[in-house]
Chain A
Amino acid sequence: DAGVIQSPRHEVTEMGQEVTLRCKPISGHDYLFWYRQTMMRGLELLIYFNNNVPIDDSGMPEDRFSAKMPNASFSTLKIQPSEPRDSAVYFCASSFQNNEQFFGPGTRLTVL
């Protein structure tokens, strides 16, 4: 298996633009997680899905952030409009039930 795949790996955009981050989980995994990492706040859970259904989105910072999982092999995290404080590394992870989580390589987002 190729592991968790994220795209793009790097994204540079200007304030106010829409940003879409993509994730392909490991085949057969039924949980998908989105995390964000910054120097100030460390690694934070944003939202997670079970069988494509959002379970807990309490970590989503505000309404500008939204996440979807239209099928078992694809998820998106969208920021609209983006702001400089959204600059961070965004990680996607997947797991089968409560087993270990496998993380993707991350998307480094820079909002100018």
Chain B
Amino acid sequence: DAKTTQPTSMDCAEGRAANLPCNHSTISGNEYVYWYRQIHSQGPQYIIHGLKNNETNEMASLIITEDRKSSTLILPHATLRDTAVYYCIVRVYSGGGADGLTFGKGTHLIIQP
């Protein structure tokens, strides 16, 4: 899987939008961008994924640049419960098959009251 680069930590005020960047300059054409987060003492939790179009679900929005070399995860109205480590992962989507996730160090997002 392509390597990703994320800031080590970020702060965001409660109620504001949290924008988490991720660089994946060596991404291949068949690789998707996935985001997971891990709240302290819990297992990782899936957030969203995308290939090249922007995606939105009930948790977040994912903005992928046109050249696909970077992306931004947006939490529109951050709450204290969004404090967690956020992992950006690039992986091949192989149709019906699956493989394990390769986690980097992620970004520790701290929501300030």
Chain A residues within 8 Å of B, Cβ to Cβ: 4, 31, 33, 35, 42-45, 48, 50, 55-56, 59, 91, 93, 95, 97-106
Contact = CB atoms under 8 A, between A and B. Distances in A.
Interface in B39-71: 42-46, 49
Contacts, number: 58
B103 A98 contact: no
B23 to A, nearest CB: 18
| Chain B interface residue number, banded | 20 to 34
Contacts of A56: 99-100
Contact of B98 (A31, A35, A106): A31
Nearest to A3: B43
Main secondary structure of the interface of B (DSSP, over half): loop
Interface of B: 34, 38, 42-46, 49, 87, 93-105
Nearest to B104: A42
A102 B98 contact: no
